[in-house]
């Protein structure tokens, strides 16, 4: 049994001495950077993933995620400080298992914890005394205690006595050159002192600073709060964009001027909609859970409605621009969408508004192609099966000129915006990238 300060101290001492193996379940945009951070901190790491192709690729020191330090990955593989596997029988080997699997929404926009539940069952079958289990995936407050804990304890082991159980929300921002895994403070929460001490000791070895909180549910709420804050503020500037456009005011100019105030204001920027795995999804985890307590989340849900409506607004602006400047409607028009990724300089199309924009264009009789320097072909995306397999188009002068309009959805740095504008008949810019690049032309329309 591990009940008692002496055993927790011994557990923490092994962390400090680096006589400790970290297991990471899920080797995607969160799990892989975390694995490399653990390797850099001096730990042995075993990475688990159900995707055998990904496991084989990582075992060769290769990675398809652009911002991953492939040199560090190759060195970790060569030194055998990191290895990837799809054999879940090896889950008994690590001293700590960190779960970084997806938590999407189902078709009814309700939380889908399938990956968390499956991962927990796999761990429970091999769980041994003295192991630490930490969930990092975004979820509703109470998941660690209400979903994971009963499954892990079903075999007779008790959390806080026989094993440690905690929650620590991931805070990854793919493509962020200023903040990586190790330089971002880590919130850590658990429902007993031993588990909190164990998890806190591990993360103190991995990141610049830890922020212990009183419970796992509190830590789960922290993650939702961070992303709901962003979703609500983005909805606000999206709504202001629509209002100011009707008034003939440039919302981007307003924001640039407003952010010169050194207090009381934080700039958020409008766009064609929300994308990624966090901001479009996390608010719905809280609204779903709030129903259990007979609480309505009107403010959060309104923000969701505004952000969800933005692709429709953008396509409407595109149709108006085609009519007013080109003398034609959207039906039969050929549109080139620039950027498929949900944010610039990464290769992740999850929940990208560009996909919705393409669908809406074609629903109104147009043809939508795309260009993205990081995404060669559209993968099979949940909710967008009709777009799967389409290939990124080149940006040479003749290709761009052949389209009736170019719609900028993602402002990748690798794109020659000046050349694009020079060769396009019409440019609809949802990211203000033309203005930021010092480009002005009569055929540029902001949306």
CB contact at 8 A, 45 and 35: yes
Q: d(Cα 49, Cα 85) in Å, to the nearest integer?
A: 7
Q: What is the 3-state secondary structure (H, E, C) of the chain?
A: CCCCHHHHHHHHHHHHHCCCEEEEECCCCCHHHHHHHHHHCCCEEEEECCCHHHHHHHHCCCCCCCCCCHHHHHHHHHCCCEEEECCHHHHHCCCEEEECCCCCECCCCCECCHHHHHHHHHHHHHCCCCCEEEECCCCCCCHHHHHHHHHHHCCCCCECCCEEEEECCCCCCCCCCCCCHHHCCEEEEECCHHHHHHHHHHHHHHCCCEEEECCHHHHHHHHHHHHHHHHHHHHHHHHHHHHHHHHCCCHHHHHHHHCCCCCCCCCCCCCCCCCCCCCCCHHHHHHHHHHHHCCCCHHHHHHHHHHHHHHHHHHHHHHHHHHHHHCCCCCCCEEEEECCCCCCCCCCCCCCHHHHHHHHHHHCCCEEEEECCCCCECCCCCCCHHHCCCECCCCCHHHHHCCCEEEECCCCCCCCHHHHHHHCCCEEECCCHHHHCCCCCCCEEEC
* 63 is an active site residue: no
- Burial (CB count <10 Å: 0-12, 13-18, 19+), residue 376: exposed
The residue from 12, 63, 278, 434 that is catalytic is 278
Q: d(Cα 257, Cα 250) in Å, to the nearest integer?
A: 11
- The residues pairing with 186 across neighbouring beta strands, listed in sequence order, are 210
Please say whether the dihedral angle defined by the alpha carbons of residues 75, 76, 77 and 79, taken in this order, is positive or negative. Answer: positive
Residues forming the active site: 278
């Amino acid at each position: 049994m591990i009940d008692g300060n002496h055993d927790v101290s011994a557990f923490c001492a092994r962390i400090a001495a680096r006589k400790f193996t970290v297991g990471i379940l899920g080797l995607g945009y969160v799990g892989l950077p975390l694995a490399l951070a653990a390797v850099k901190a001096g730990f042995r790491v075993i990475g688990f993933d159900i995707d055998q192709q990904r496991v084989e690729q990582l075992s060769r020191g290769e990675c398809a995620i652009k911002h991953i330090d492939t040199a560090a990955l190759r060195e970790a593989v060569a030194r055998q400080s990191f290895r990837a596997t799809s054999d879940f029988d090896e889950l008994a080997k690590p001293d700590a298992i960190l779960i970084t699997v997806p938590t999407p929404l189902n078709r009814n926009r309700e939380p889908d914890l399938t990956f968390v539940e499956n991962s927990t069952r796999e761990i429970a079958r091999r769980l041994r005394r003295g192991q630490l289990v930490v969930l990092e995936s975004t979820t509703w407050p109470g998941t660690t205690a209400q979903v994971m804990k009963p499954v892990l304890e079903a075999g007779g082991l008790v959390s806080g006595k026989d094993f440690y159980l905690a929650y620590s929300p991931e805070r990854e921002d793919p493509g962020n050159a200023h903040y990586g895994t190790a330089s971002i403070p880590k919130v850590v929460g658990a429902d007993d002192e031993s588990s909190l001490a164990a998890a806190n000791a591990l993360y103190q070895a991995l990141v610049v600073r830890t922020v212990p909180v009183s419970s796992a549910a509190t830590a789960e709420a922290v993650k939702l709060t961070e992303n709901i804050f962003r979703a609500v503020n983005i909805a606000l500037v999206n709504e202001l964009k629509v209002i100011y456009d009707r008034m003939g005011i440039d919302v981007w100019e307003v924001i640039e001027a407003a952010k010169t105030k050194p207090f009381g204001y934080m700039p958020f920027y409008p766009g064609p909609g929300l994308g990624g795995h966090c901001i479009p999804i996390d608010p719905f985890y809280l609204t779903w859970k709030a129903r259990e307590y007979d609480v309505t989340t009107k403010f959060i849900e309104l923000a969701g409605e505004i952000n969800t409506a933005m692709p429709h607004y953008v396509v409407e602006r595109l149709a108006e621009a085609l009519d007013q400047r080109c003398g034609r409607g959207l039906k039969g028009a050929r549109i080139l969408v620039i950027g498929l990724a949900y944010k610039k300089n990464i290769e992740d199309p999850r929940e990208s508004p560009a996909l919705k924009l393409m669908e809406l264009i074609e629903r109104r009789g147009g043809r939508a192609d795309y260009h993205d320097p990081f995404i060669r072909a559209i993968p099979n995306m949940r909710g967008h099966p009709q777009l799967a397999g389409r290939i990124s188009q080149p940006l040479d002068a003749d290709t761009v000129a052949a389209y009736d309009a170019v719609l900028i959805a993602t402002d990748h740095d690798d794109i020659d915006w000046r050349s694009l504008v020079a060769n396009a008949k019409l440019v609809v810019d949802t990211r203000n990238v033309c203005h930021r690049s010092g480009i002005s032309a009569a055929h540029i329309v902001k949306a």
